[in-house]
Amino acid sequence: MEKELGIKLENLTKIFYSRDGASVSALEGINITFEPKSFTCIIGPTGCGKTTLLRIIAGIEPPTSGKVILGEEVVTRPSKEIGMVFQQYSLFPWRNVIDNVAFGLELRGVPKKERLAQAKALLELVGLSQFAQSRPYELSGGMQQRVAIARALAQNPKVLLLDEPFGALDERTRHRLQDELLAIWEKTKKTILFVTHNIDEAVYLGERVVVMSHPPAGVIADIKITIPRPRNRMDKKFVEALLFIRMALEKAIEEGGKNEKGLNHLSHF
């Protein structure tokens, strides 16, 4: 039986230093646990450190202090157990779609026949099997993002980190990809951390919404979303959750890195 892996952040702090020695505290004392197979959305003001947080969890960037624990192991470098999807698709323009998806498997030395079979199955999962031989420039932005998700899934990670993957898309395409991502999550049951600036997107996707404050960033609200799926954006509970998160974001902007006592872990929707 495959081991389920959650993520635990213990007193996570990140300080950036400039050439003249000045310091900027981006993240400060973050303690939070993400359960295995959960879908969490992370939202906060622009520049609050959401991307930095994902990069630290992915092992791409080290924390100044504290640690990230994946299962029982401390994350110190990138791991095949953690996949990341960026807002920029970063696809190789000289490779066709199926070879883009199979790239990570190729680096691991997976035989060509096997890696192409896995890539083909993932393209079917994201609804792009008919575009396997296309080049990225022949695809729309939404289709390119689905290729990027398939490429991340090709490593079969336990954890999938997504950094505003739909931020550059129009609303109709974004809504369609939100539903496709939820369908993938239902099938694969990966632990997903999804960074977004869009409150509607956070409530629609997440089982949980974590609101971060301005730097030095901490967690100002941790909200459980239990609205049944498929979620109706016009539903009263949905609108109440939107308003609550908007209030939390306003507090995050007003109060900087302070955690508002009584707001954190307060509400369920």
pLDDT digits over 104-140, tens only? 899 889 999 999 999 999 999 999 999 999 999 999 9
148 beta partners: none
pLDDT digits over 14-30, tens only? 999 888 888 888 899 99
Joined tokens for residue 16: 């950036």
Q: DSSP secondary structure string, the chain?
A: -PPP--EEEEEEEEEEE-TTS-EEEEEEEEEEEE-TT-EEEEE-STTSSHHHHHHHHTTSS--SEEEEEETTEE--S--TTEEEE-SS----TTS-HHHHHTHHHHHTT--HHHHHHHHHHHHHHTT-GGGTTS-GGGS-HHHHHHHHHHHHHTT--SEEEEESTTTTS-HHHHHHHHHHHHHHHHHH--EEEEE-S-HHHHHHH-SEEEEE-SSSB-EEEEEE--PPSSPPTTSHHHHHHHHHHHHHHHHHHHHTT---TTTTT--B-
The radius of gyration of the chain from alpha carbons, rounded to an integer in Å, stands at 19
Quote the distance between the C-alpha of residue 116 and its chain's center.
26
Q: What is the pLDDT of residue 119?
A: 95
Instruction: Please report, rounded to a whole number, the percentage of residues in the chain having pLDDT higher than 90.
Output: 72
pLDDT digits over 234-268, tens only? 999 999 999 999 988 887 777 654 444 434 555 67
Distance CA 215, CA 225 (A): 26
Distance CA 246, CA 44 (A): 10
Mean pLDDT of the chain: 90
Say what the pTM is: 0.91
Q: What is the pLDDT of residue 255?
A: 62
